Copies of this chain bind each other. A is one copy, B any other.
Amino acid sequence: MKWRRTHYSAEITPEMDGQEVIVMGWVHSIRALGKIIFVILRDREGMVQIVAPKQKVGEELFSQIKKLGAEDVIAVKGKVIANEKAPNGFEILPLELEVLNTAQRPLPLDPAEKVPAELDTRLENRFLDLRRPKIQAIFKIRSEMLKSVRKTLYNEGFVEVNTPKLVASCTEGGTELFPISYFEREAFLGQSPQLYKQMLMATGLDRVFEIAPIFRAEEHNTRRHLNEATSIDIEMAFADDKDAMEILEKVVYNAFLDVYENRKKEIETLGIEFELPSEKFDRITYDEAIDIANAKGVEIEWGQDLSREAEKAIGEEMGGLYFITDWPTETRPFYTMPDEKNPNICKAFDLMYKDLEISSGAQRIHLYDLLVENIKKKGLNPDGFTYYLEAFKYGMPPHAGWGLGADRFTMVLTQQENIRECVLFPRDRQRLTP
């Protein structure tokens, strides 16, 4: 490479008329009209029109440009020419061209194609799929969201941690784990950092967060589940469920705000109506939620988890973001703190967006005896939780936390219906590649 890029396409303006620039990217389209060639160059920030009249660029450069094909990778040194009729009010007159790589043709998937291919074909050729600005916009918004989430958590005094994904045997119960062979032993892939982040509450680090992959060997095949997902996890000491919900509101609201303010172009590219939520989210109890479902003709008995139909009915009624609180204790994992007055309900909450659960959390049990009792009640063996339980014996403060699905949150922010649209290389039962 002789040169370095001086400007992304979107950084060039008509006011730069006469200035020399170097742009780099892919040949989005090429049109030769006798003695003039129009090349649209695509880079991360947009497109730029390069206009090469034979008379001005000379024989050699003209024939070099003429040989270009769709999706070739090029660097162009050229002069900015203000032109009201050109796409962004300017075009580039090429002075020199470097072909950095060529593309075989036909392409298995054409990034310039207006009609999108089937999802499976797109995922098979994700590197080409991602050249479409609409697809790239999803992942720029995802990156912005992750940046925003961390910013809020740092501001709230959280410390970033990394907990192990290779675990000996501990399981929270309820979810299938992927087994690994770990040298001479069997081990498993962590389904969530739950037990680790709770153990860290006994350290004095007080507020921790982790954004990391989680692995669930569940056989579901839905538009909302994957076998490998990215989870945003927090845990906070000296806090209850209400405190954790407040942090969650801040994290989610600020992410909406940051995407809204910093990713206007991507929102426009996606062509979505992006509305900021209010800073405080509606809160309904589980009892109210099942009343709504029942009123809409979806049968659900007290004590059951919400069925897909119930979620849809409730989501239709509630719209946007809302919490469901006061869950029946039996619907939640063993570490959930029961209500002092009525132990049949517990201090758990879900954050929903319409009919999609995007986060789940609770105040946790910090009392050793109650925790052991609850593990047994769920039909699990406390002996499988030795290391975890140790942390509750020597001074465990009250604590609460939640997990927020990064992939699902991206679905909400980009208004996608299938979680696979929000993950670069999704993993489900059928798909382990690319």
Binding site for B on A (CB under 8 A): 1, 4-5, 24-26, 42-44, 71-73, 75, 100-104, 107-108, 125-128, 130-131, 136, 139-140, 142-143, 146-147, 150, 154, 159-168, 178-183, 185, 187, 189, 196, 199-200, 202-206, 212-213, 215, 217, 219, 227-228, 230, 238-240, 243, 366-367, 387-388, 390-391, 393-398, 406, 423-427, 429, 432-434
A429 proximity list for chain B (CB < 8 A): 183
What are 19 A-to-B residue pairs whose CB atoms are below 8 Å?
A25-B204, A26-B395, A100-B366, A100-B397, A101-B367, A101-B396, A126-B199, A128-B394, A136-B204, A143-B160, A146-B160, A147-B160, A162-B230, A165-B213, A166-B228, A166-B432, A182-B432, A183-B429, A390-B434
Nearest B residue to A69 via CB reads B395
A103 touches B393 (CB 8 A): yes
Interface pair B1/A240, CB less than 8 Å apart:
yes
Contacts of A196 in B (CB 8 A): 424-425
Q: How many copies does the complex hold?
A: 2
Contact A165 B205 (CB under 8 A): no
What is the CB-to-nearest-CB distance from A215 to chain B, in angstroms, rounded to a whole number? 7
Q: Are B44 and A206 in contact (CB under 8 A)?
A: yes
Q: Could you say which of A426, A427, A434 has the most chain B C-beta atoms within 10 Å of its C-beta?
A: A434
> A228 near B43 (CB under 8 angstroms)?
no
Question: Please, which residue of chain B has its CB at the minimum distance from the CB of A429?
Answer: B183
Contact A131 B219 (CB under 8 A): no
Among B165, B202, B227, B434, which residue has its beta carbon within 8 angstroms of that of A127? B202
Assess the A397–B44 pair: CB atoms within 8 A: no
Report the bound CA distance from A96 to B245 in whole Å: 28
B394–A425 CB distance below 8 A: no
Given contacts A183-B219, A196-B425, list 8 more A-B pairs with CB under 8 A: A24-B238, A101-B367, A103-B393, A130-B205, A136-B205, A146-B160, A166-B215, A166-B227
Instruction: Tell me whether A394 and B200 are in contact (CB under 8 A).
Output: no
The complex places the Cα of A154 from the Cα of B178 at a distance, in Å, of: 34
A393 nearest in chain B by CB position:
B104
Q: Which of B103, B139, B165, B406 contacts A228 (CB 8 A)?
A: B165
User: Which chain B residues border A227 with CB–CB below 8 Å?
Assistant: 166, 182
* Contact call A154/B164, Cβ cutoff below 8 A: no
Closest CB-CB distance, A128 to chain B, in whole Å? Answer: 6
How far, in whole Å, are A202 and B104 apart by their CA atoms in the complex?
13
With contacts A72-B395, A104-B393, A136-B205 taken as known, whether A143 is within 8 angstroms of B159 at the C-beta atoms is: yes
Chain B residues with Cβ below 8 Å from A161 are: 139, 143, 424
Q: Are A43 and B101 in contact (CB under 8 A)?
A: no
Complex Cα spacing A125 to B390, Å:
8
Residues of B within 8 A of A71 (CB): 394-395
Chain B residues with CB under 8 A of A205: 44, 130, 136, 139
| Contacts A130-B204, A396-B101; A387 near B434 (Cβ below 8 A) | yes
Query: Once the chains are docked, how many angstroms separate the CA of A426 from the CA of B206?
Result: 21
Return chain B residues, CB-CB under 8 Å to A398: 1, 100-101
Say whether A164 contacts B228, CB under 8 Å: yes
Q: Is the CB of A397 within 8 A of B24?
A: yes
Nearest neighbor of A195 in chain B, beta-carbon distance: B434
Q: Which residues of B contact A44 (CB under 8 A)?
A: 204-206
Looking at the complex, which one of B125, B238, B388 makes contact with A434 (CB distance below 8 Å)? B388
A256 to chain B, nearest CB (A): 18
Complex: chain B residue closest to A363, CB-CB: B1
Give bound CA distance, A4 to B237, whole Å: 11
The CA-CA distance from A396 to B179 in the complex, in Å, is 37
Most chain B CB atoms below 10 A, which of A42, A178, A230, A388: A178
